[in-house]
Structures are given as structure tokens and as C-alpha cells.
Structure 1
Amino acid sequence: MWYKESVFYQIYPLGLCGAPRENDGQVVSRIMQLLDWLPHLQKMNINGVIFNPLFDSDRHGYDTRNFNKLDPRLGTNEDLKTICKTYNDAGLALMFDGVFNHVGRGFWAFQDVIENKESSRYKDWFHIHFGGNTHFNDGFHYDNWEGHYELVKLNLNNPELVDYLLQQVTHWVTEYGIKGLRLDVAYMVDRNFLRRLHDHCLSLDPEFFLLGEMIHGDYRQIVNGEMCHSATNYECAKGLVSALNSHNLFEVAHSLQRQFGQEQWALYRDLPLLSFVDNHDLSRAATAIQDKRCLPLAYAIIFTMPGLPCIYYGSEWGIEGSVQHDDADVRQSIRQPEWNELTELIAQLADIRRRYPVLARGAFRNVLIQNKQLIFERKDGEQRIMTAVNMDDQPATLHFDAGCGRARELITDTDHDFGAGSELEPFAYKVWLMETN
């Protein structure tokens, strides 16, 4: 499957393209800016792009008005077709954000319910309670997403609605050539709907990729042969940031062992989970990680641990932003991409990830764990790669059983001898291709 060996890049289009926060209906082709980003993505060795919401919405994209129409703040459907064709022709696989749990109050079918009440043919597309009311004073109450009445929960047990949503997916595949979907709040989406969606998508494309958003809980609730292929690995993302901030690499090592170790009790060693440091719902990595010298270590880990590495736009050169006050602070407008030492490292790691299949499918093993140093191994047949990090401001000499005498350090393309211990400079990161016996 294409996604198992891919490096992903996540874009929040309404943010990156500088769209106004309120949808005034004015058509401005801001999405065409993404043409200027293609050379940057190619230089970074990206081959999969996840687009957060693109379609007509009330404000932030997750309050959909129309699944068939590009948000006018971004442009027209023809603009979107141009972007998708250009990216597809360049060899990048595209994924859209499937927001199927809820819609905005401006969604056309909900507007019909507001106007026609009990007489609306669409009233059963939602969970409407005509005996109540809300602060919007519609004359009825309705189920919503986590107390947010601007987000109207869909009734995914309604056959007509489900058919409508599946038709939208078919349209996205045929019109825009997408290869997958990110499923918003998949942890709470109706399981029978996920099964229908899974079967429908694979009937369109046997290699279609379904990525479910899971913030907590057991990923196998939705990642199985009937629903999703992958989930967002929040456990490791949060564990990694916390470990770097607390100078306690045991924390992330525990999560890696718990999920991917070779013990029978390891939870997810056969699942290709999405690995990341930040996204559109989290503070930027350069803000969340208190010591900026640890940023390269974080990316060295997510690119060589089991999973599918994903970079959030702008974070590859260390842009900052916090979700403490407003999610918009991490969904910044960026006129053009930048390139610095961190970007160069991430591009190298992406290249290494794509050149060495062991990083996509190899077994995982922790080799050495200390508060400020960590070494782990990926192994597939005779091919072995070890990743070592030192988050101390002092050099560290590490003694461990490497299983061989020498290795090639892939980032610097230099030889390494394990004979007298391995010295790591302060805040060093190494990716060793171990020699074969």
C-alpha cells in the first residue's frame, strides 16, 4: 500500500492561504498560492499531502455548508481541480478531510429544517427535538458536537444521508483524484457508517487510505479490517513532547515499547499509525518543546520510529504558535515557505525514510534508555537501523551491544565505530545503518 512508505505533509488551507475568519461569500482564489509550495514539498521529499477542510463552511472549515463547493474564501472548484491535478501530476498523493460527524448551521439541509421545521424532508438527517429550543431560537433543539451548537450532529443512521455522503466521496475521487481521507473525530463517528465508508472507498480504489482521528482510547476501536487503516498517534506525540520537556526519555520509550515492542502484549506493532509532533489542534512544536535544541531530536524520532511521519506546514522551519488562547494562532497565514537547518534535516530524514524500507516495516526494539539518552532499533531481515539521541547539554558516551562493529551514519554520511563506546555530542541525533555480518 502506497501510504505505508509515505512521508506526509499537513496543510490547513484556510489558515495558510490567509482566508478571513468569517465567510462573507466573496470568491478569492487564495488556494492558488499552493502552486508555489509544490517545489518546497518536492525538495522536502514529501509524497503525501493531507488537506484540512476545503469546502464551503461557516467559519473554520469543520462547520460545512456544502460538500460540493470549494470555500469561496479559497476560490472556485476549478481552482481546486488545478491544484489537485498539479500535485497529482507531480506524484503527490492527496487526502481530503472527511468531516462527517457534524456540519455547520449553514449546511443547506439544516437550513431547510430551520425554514420548514417538522415539514422538512431533511429533518431526519439530524437529531432534532421539536419540543425544545436553543439560544439560536430556531424553535427546536438538536444534538451537536460537544456542546457547540454551531456544529450540528449528523444522524449517520439515516440511509438517505449516508448515501449522500458516500456520493460526495465518489465525487472527490473522480473529480480531484484523492487517494485517501482524514476522518475528523473518528473516535465518535458511528461505527456502522465507518464500515460503509470503508467498503465504499475500497470499491473506488483498492489502495484508498482511511486515517481516523483518535485523540484517546484504544486505536483498534476503529483501526481494523472493517473501518480505518490508521489513526493519529496522539499517545506518542504527547509522550514525546512531555519527555523532552521533563528530561525523561523513559516516557516516550515506554509508549514506543507499549505500542510497538516485540512482546505479545504490545498493542499496535502491526498498525501503521500517523506519527507527528504537532498539528492544527496542538501548539506548534517549536512552542510546545521548551528547549529549541531538542526540536531536531523530536523529528529524528518520529521519522525513524514505527509509523507514518507527518509534518504540519511551517513547523519544518520552526514556526511558533500556541493553542492556549485561540486555535487560529497555530493556523497561520504564510505567504511562502522558508528553508533553514531544521528544514534541511527533515528533508534528509524524509529521504532516509523513503530509501530504507526497514523504517516502514521493520520490527522495533529499545536498545538503551536513560533519562537524557535513548537508542532504539528497527530491524527487517538483515537490515538494521539504530536511532540515538542525546538531549543533554553535555556529551554522553554510550556503551551497548550494537550487534556489529561499525555503521554508516546516514544524516552525515560518515562511518561510525562502536569499538570504544559511542560518544554523542550535546543534543546530538544519529541514524546508524548497521553493517551486516
Structure 2
Amino acid sequence: MPDWVQDAVWWHVYPLGFVGAEKEATEEVTSRLHRITDWLDYAVELGANGLALGPVFASSTHGYDTVDHGRIDPRLGDDADFDELVDEAHDRGLRVLLDGVFNHVGREHPAFRAVVERGSDAPSAAWFRLRWPADWQPGVVPGYDTFEGHDQLVALDHSAPVVADWVAEVMTHWLDRGADGWRLDAAYAVPPSFWATVLPRVREAHPEAYVVGEVIHGDYARIVTESGMDAVTQYELWKAVWSSLNDGNLHELAHALGRHDGFLDTFVPLTFLGNHDVTRIASRLTDLRHLPHALAVLFTVGGTPSVYAGDEQAFTGVKEDRAGGDDAVRPPFPETPAGLAPFGEPTFRLHQELIGLRRRHRWLHTARTTVLHRDNRQLSYEVTGDGERLVVALNLADTPATLPAVGAGEVLAGAGTVQRDAVRLDAHGWAVLAG
């Protein structure tokens, strides 16, 4: 993993939604990426030093049905707009992470359109897993594998050398243009052996590039080891945080922290409480008094934290399983931060406080966690690394509670009364304490 990732805290933006772009493709170029540029100072004020962008390449609709990986989506702008955004981000010390959709392409991608028009003689026929009808003729769509049953998303054949060549070329091109790394969309659907072929070629030109795969389920450590990726997304911890808080079952979180430690033996996961694909944390939690508890976990355990734009303002939004069901979690933002409502200010300040704490304890990136006390509604744990230590205590109950906190010192965040080897928390209280 590149050294700079130790200090990375990402602010994650879904560009097409953020700038209020049209829902469907247009060939008219409208420069909108500057609307993200206008928020970069805000990201820095938050404490982030990385801008993780959702899809920016030409697509038919939502960005994940890409039709040209070499061209900025006209709804966002053009090459000059992209260059300006990257330059402005770098000028502020913000790394830029791009979202690469390499498991599949949109059905309107020229490579697939050539297959429909020319059949098996098309040079790009080898890109896909196709089934040809006996009476095929030009214009007839052959059978093809899809991504999870979505017929507008045509799965690539990752056993084809031409696909590996193309992906390596695309990844290298945009790193040449100034990007600092890639998020690999739907990496769980791509054989790790494919990435093991592609990534060494990319890193030959860009050894400092960070590569993180979207992996929802599966053997995280094996996928990282076999693929050569730096990290994968930590969905296990994401789920355990909100469901344990909602259910009043902190045994679940304790178990997940143990699993998380195991992953850290192999790699440092990308940690998060929200992204463009899930219900926002402020909507997911049944009791908003526990939002600080969730944030305390995110910013005190090992990992590379990512904050989905708007979560730091306690935005709400529920993902639904229907057409347009992502819209609520991918809304347009005001032209500038001045257009934000004041209601999110306390949550923003809490993010700043906890990101600041993490910056003062750089070792947290690879810290290990040991549970000191667990109960349904109380949990305390220590995080250690590089000879340093912090203690975190959480109380979900309607009454005050005293939790074991052996060796705990002053309160660094939250609120509590330190007693001998213990900390007393108010009802629904939390605290991060010096070791």
C-alpha cells in the first residue's frame, strides 16, 4: 500500500447526482465539474485529504453503464473540466480516486454495438461471453452474460487477454492524467486472477497508485492476496455498526471488531458508514442519539475511512429496490456550501473533531482492537498500535452506566467521568479516552 494512504480520509462524491445532471446521456457538453471544485475547500475544512469520485466517464444513465472509458461524461464536462478539478484538488492536498467499472459495460458501448452489427466477426466479440442463435443476422442481439441480471449491463469476459490489455490501458491513462488511484466497481464479480494480471502492469507506471475493490461479500483477505489490490470495502463492519446500535446488541459489534482485526493482518480495509449504494446512516439508525457512537467506531478502528458526501451533515435518504431507487441517496447539492441548511452543523463539527483526533493518532490506520467489556447496551474497547493506546466506551441505555476502562486517562472526545479503571457515561453517552 502506498505510504500516503496511512493519512487518507476520503470525502466520497457521486458526481452525476451532486451536480444535478440529467438522468440520461446527452451529447451536449455542459461543464458542471466546477460545482465539485467549489466544494473542495469545504472538504479540506471537514478534515478530508482525499476526493473519492463516483463515475465520471461517458455513460447511458447512472454512470455504471459506461459507454466510453476514455471520455468524461458530457453531462459533467470535458477533459479540461476534469483537469481543472484534479489540479484544484491537488493544490489543496486532496488526492483523487476514480471509480472504474471494469466488470461490465453499458449495452450502448461501441464494443457491444459492433457485436450486434457484425456478429462473431467483430473484433470486440472476444470481449464478451456470448451465445449466438443459429439464424443470427446483423442487428440481432446474441445472448450475453449480464451483471446480476441487469440487461443494460453487459459482462466482460475476463479470461480474454484483450480485456486485460484494455483495462490496464484505461487505468494507466487516467493515472497519467493525474488521478491517484482507483476504486474497482463490482470487484467481487471479477476473478482475482484478472486483477493479478492487470495491476502489476498499471503499477509499473504508477507504483504509488492506490487500488481498492468494491467487495460486498466473500473472503476479503483471499481476494486482496490473490488480486494484488491494496484493499477492499469493509461491508461487514458497516453492517455490524448500524445493526448493533439499532438492535441494542453490541455483542454483534464486538464480534465484528474481532473479524476486522483479522483482516488487518493481511490488509487495511476501506471503512465507511455510507456510500452511494446504501441508505444513509442518519436514516438507517432508529435512534439518532447513536450517530456519534457510529462515528466514534469509524474513526477509532484500523482502516482508511471514507465519508459519503452529505453524511457529515446528517443528510437523510433511503435506498429503495425500484427504478430510481437510488435517487434519495444521490441528491443534487447546493451550488456552494453556503447553501446548506444549518441543521447539519453539529454533525459536521463532530466529524471534524473525530477526524482531528485521528490525525493526531496516525497509528490508528493499522490499530488493533481489544474488547474490554461487552453487554447488550454497553461496550468498551481499547485500540493499540505503535506503543500507543486509546479507549472507547459506548452506552446505548436510557440510564447512565459505568464501563470498565482499564488505564483510561482524559476524555479526548465525547463526554464521561473517568473513575478508577472505569468511565461513567450518561444515558446514550460515549467517549474516546487517552490510554
Which TM-score band applies after superposition, normalised by the shorter structure? over 0.9
Mark the CA change 1:256 to 1:420 in structure 2 (over 3 Å): closer, same or farther.
closer
| Match of residue 394 from structure 2 | 389
Please say if residues 230 and 272 of structure 1, whose CA atoms lie closer than 8 Å, have aligned partners that are also in contact. yes
CA apart distance, 1:381: 4.2
| Match of residue 30 from structure 2 | 28
Amino acid in structure 1 at the alignment position of 2:399: Q
Amino acid in structure 2 at the alignment position of 1:46: A
CA apart distance, 1:416: 5.9
1:330 equivalent in alignment to 2:332:
no
Please say if residues 105 and 153 of structure 2, whose CA atoms lie closer than 8 Å, have aligned partners that are also in contact. yes
Unaligned runs of 5+ in 1: 261-265
Query: CA offsets per residue over residues 381-409 of structure 1, 9 Å max, x none?
Result: 431111112122322122x2513xx5132
Query: CA offsets per residue over residues 124-156 of structure 1, 9 Å max, x none?
Result: 11112121799xx73411111111110011122
Q: Aligned to 1:296, which of 292, 295, 299? A: 292
Please say if residues 132 and 140 of structure 1, whose CA atoms lie closer than 8 Å, have aligned partners that are also in contact. no
Please say if residues 259 and 269 of structure 1, whose CA atoms lie closer than 8 Å, have aligned partners that are also in contact. no
Q: C-alpha distance in 2, partners of 1:36/1:362?
A: 34
CA apart distance, 1:225: 6.7
Q: Under a length normalisation based on structure 1, what TM-score does the superposition of the two structures give? A: 0.92
1:402 equivalent in alignment to 2:406:
yes
Q: C-alpha distance in 2, partners of 1:59/1:242?
A: 32
Q: C-alpha distance in 2, partners of 1:366/1:239?
A: 15
Matches within 5 A, 1:22-421: 22-131=24-133, 138-175=140-177, 177-224=178-225, 226-260=227-261, 266-324=262-320, 325=322, 326-335=325-334, 336-337=336-337, 338=340, 340-398=345-403, 400=404, 402-403=406-407, 407-411=409-413, 417-419=418-420, 421=422
Q: C-alpha distance in 1, partners of 2:25/2:64?
A: 13
Mark the CA change 1:213 to 1:422 in structure 2 (over 3 Å): closer, same or farther.
same
Q: C-alpha distance in 2, partners of 1:285/1:363?
A: 25
Q: C-alpha distance in 2, partners of 1:197/1:12?
A: 26
Mark the CA change 1:417 to 1:424 in structure 2 (over 3 Å): closer, same or farther.
closer
Q: C-alpha distance in 2, partners of 1:230/1:277?
A: 17
CA apart distance, 1:3: 1.3
3-state SS in 2 of match to 1:200: helix
Figure out how many residues of one structure are paired with residues of the other and give that number.
423
Q: C-alpha distance in 1, partners of 2:181/2:286?
A: 34
Amino acid in structure 2 at the alignment position of 1:217: G
CA apart distance, 1:94: 0.9
Q: C-alpha distance in 2, partners of 1:172/1:300?
A: 35
3-state SS in 1 of match to 2:63: coil
Q: Give the fraction of aligned pairs with identical amino acids, expressed as a percent.
A: 34
| Match of residue 263 from structure 1 | none
Please say if residues 301 and 367 of structure 2, whose CA atoms lie closer than 8 Å, have aligned partners that are also in contact. no
3-state SS in 2 of match to 1:386: strand
Amino acid in structure 2 at the alignment position of 1:256: L
Q: C-alpha distance in 2, partners of 1:277/1:228?
A: 22
Q: Under a length normalisation based on structure 2, what TM-score does the superposition of the two structures give? A: 0.92
The range that moved more, 111-120 or 73-82, is 111-120
Amino acid in structure 1 at the alignment position of 2:68: N
CA apart distance, 1:100: 0.5
Poorly superposed stretches of 4+, deviation over 6 Å: none
Amino acid in structure 1 at the alignment position of 2:353: Q
Mark the CA change 1:301 to 1:98 in structure 2 (over 3 Å): closer, same or farther.
same
3-state SS in 2 of match to 1:333: coil
Amino acid in structure 1 at the alignment position of 2:225: N
CA apart distance, 1:188: 1.4
The range that moved more, 118-127 or 48-57, is 118-127
Unaligned runs of 5+ in 2: none
Please say if residues 132 and 139 of structure 1, whose CA atoms lie closer than 8 Å, have aligned partners that are also in contact. no
3-state SS in 2 of match to 1:410: strand
Query: CA offsets per residue over residues 229-269 of structure 1, 9 Å max, x none?
Result: 11111111111111011111111111111331xxxxx4544
Q: C-alpha distance in 2, partners of 1:69/1:344?
A: 37
Amino acid in structure 2 at the alignment position of 1:31: L
CA apart distance, 1:62: 0.7
Please say if residues 158 and 191 of structure 2, whose CA atoms lie closer than 8 Å, have aligned partners that are also in contact. yes
CA apart distance, 1:284: 0.6
Please say if residues 17 and 334 of structure 1, whose CA atoms lie closer than 8 Å, have aligned partners that are also in contact. yes
The range that moved more, 235-244 or 194-203, is 194-203
Q: C-alpha distance in 2, partners of 1:283/1:141?
A: 34
3-state SS in 2 of match to 1:223: helix
Please say if residues 358 and 385 of structure 1, whose CA atoms lie closer than 8 Å, have aligned partners that are also in contact. no
Query: CA offsets per residue over residues 329-366 of structure 1, 9 Å max, x none?
Result: 21111114445101111111111112102311222211
Q: C-alpha distance in 1, partners of 2:135/2:359?
A: 54
Q: C-alpha distance in 2, partners of 1:420/1:219?
A: 36
